[in-house]
Amino acid sequence: MPAKGNQPRVHTCWRPAVTAKCDGCGLEIEGGYDACQRLFQSRVSLETSDYRYARLHRLVVDCYCLQHPQQYCMSAKSLMAHLAGLCIAIEKNGEQKAYRMLQESLNGAPPLVKPPVPDAKGGYTIADVLAASNPSEYARRVHAWADHVWRAYQATWNWARDWLDRHPI
């Protein structure tokens, strides 16, 4: 340890690295959830203006909402809407009739008890999807994202599957 007073005084501009995190999906981003939400909104507006991206809109919304359940899946009904929607995309090949039936089944006050949501929600986020440079890569990344989210929700798979089975096409 050098004696005090012998060292030149050096002013450094040291700052801690910015490691703000979205408390929903875990994305490291300055601004946390608010900044994550802005990324999502930018994606949604692209999807509504470009048909090549629009076909994946439903899946993108379901993935994002399931990764941010504090905001989008507060009720059992909203959790089921997104989780069963993801189930349809992954296990029923995105069958449009199944989506319609799901929507109808959730009209009114469906008798649902909300299961706990997982703490970890997959190692893939909206930021990974946004890194796509063309529509086919975008589609590939959205499906990878969907797989991550679906796996994270494994404990609730049967809750969603049973509901879909009870409301067949």
**Considering only CA atoms, which of 139, 129, 132, 127 is closest in space to residue 38?**
127
What distance in Å separates the CA atoms of residue 155 and residue 39, rounded to the nearest whole number? Answer: 28
Shortest distance, position 50 Cβ to Zn ion, whole Å: 23
114 φ, ψ to 5°? Answer: -75, 125
Q: Which residues pair with 118 in a beta bridge?
A: none
Taking the least distance from each CB to Zn ion, the nearer of 119 and 165 is 119
Shortest distance, position 55 Cβ to Zn ion, whole Å: 23
x/- site string to Zn ion, residues 15 to 44, per CB under 5 A?
-------x-xx-x--------x--------
Shortest distance, position 77 Cβ to Zn ion, whole Å: 22
11 φ, ψ to 5°? Answer: -95, 120
Taking the least distance from each CB to Zn ion, the nearer of 34 and 50 is 34
Which residues contact Zn ion (rule: CB under 5 A)?
A: 22, 24-25, 27, 36
